[in-house]
Structure formats: C-alpha cells, structure tokens
Amino acid sequence: MGLLGIINKDLEHCGGKSVPRKMLTFFFNVSFRLTLNYRLGYYLARRRNIVNNILILFLKKKQLTKYACDISYDAVIGKKVSFPHPTGIVIGVGSVVGDNVMIWQNVTLGSKGAVEKAYPHIKSNVKIYSAAQIIGGITVGENAKIGAFSLVLKDVPDNSTAVGIPAKTI
C-alpha cells in the first residue's frame, strides 16, 4: 500500500468515513495530524536527498513545537495507531510499534543508552497509558496493557498488564 493509501486508512481510523468527516479529521484532529507528520517524515527519510532532508527538518520542528512530541522517522509504526492525547510522546529510533496500538500522553519508548542501543518492540493491540516508560530491547506482547507511570524494563507477555516502578506483570 502506498503513502496515500496509508494516510487514507489513518483518516478513516481517526473518524473520517465520509468526505466531509475526512476533511474535518484532516484539518482538526490532532492525533491524525501527528500521525500524518510521522508518515510523511518516514516516507521522506526512506528517500533522502538535499530537498527531502530540508523537508524532514521542517516536519521535525513542527512535531516538536506544535505537538511537543519527538517521534523518530526511523521508528516503525503500524496501522491504526492512536494517540488520544498527543503531547510529550517520545518514540526512539529503533522502536517498532504494531497495529492497533494506543499511546497516551508523555509515553517514552527508548533505549537504555548503552553502547549497543536496543529499542522496544510493541506488538499489536497494546494500550500504553500516561507517562509510561518502556526502555531497552524488550517486547510487549499482543493485547498487553502498560499502566500509567510504569517503568517497563522486562518483557511483558501477551494478554497481561504491567504496572509499577519497575513494572511487574499482574
């Protein structure tokens, strides 16, 4: 599926089923706008040249100033990802986010900062609540939930919930 097809699917996911709703979603839905910024940046980052590099810098500045988010264009984000309150979200360079994932405000997906940086892999249908931090080369299984303000440093199995600092599976 091409870039326009993916953007159309994102529009439909954010509430734009009809043409008027798609127009409203395109111009006013902040979650969609952040996703659009990522999709364009990801597309341009795969086709680097001097013009695309300038456009990437413009998109990154807009992402940081308008949404207060830092989502790497080298991260891989799946389909139907939702950002219900898109403020302060950080997704690192090597992070992989599956399909149908919901990420609330102030969530960090990053590395431990070691010599060999490893980033989290978030599988499909995961919910990551406010201010959770998922750090290192860990995997969060399908249908898992990460509680608010949790610090996840170990793998989270499928269909489970991780809460606390450090997070424990319950």
> For 156, which DSSP code?
B
Q: What is the mean pLDDT of residues 70-94?
A: 93
pTM as predicted: 0.89
State residue 56's pLDDT score.
94
Closest CA to 161 of 128, 119, 134: 128
Average pLDDT score, the chain: 92
- Whether the CA torsion 90, 102, 65, 39 is positive or negative: it is positive
State residue 170's pLDDT score.
87
Is the pLDDT confidence value at 116 over 80? no
Residue 104 pLDDT class (50, 70, 90 cuts): very high
Is the pLDDT confidence value at 153 over 80? yes
Q: Between the CA of residue 49 and those of 44, 59, 75, what are the distances in Å?
A: 9, 15, 19
> Total structural domains in the chain?
1
For residue 62, give its domain range: 3-169
Residue 59 pLDDT class (50, 70, 90 cuts): very high
Cite the DSSP H helix spans in the chain.
Answer: 3-13, 19-28, 30-45, 50-67
Is the pLDDT confidence value at 125 over 90? yes
Radius of gyration (Cα) for the chain, nearest Å?
A: 16
Question: Residue 72's domain is classified under what CATH number?
Answer: 2.160.10.10
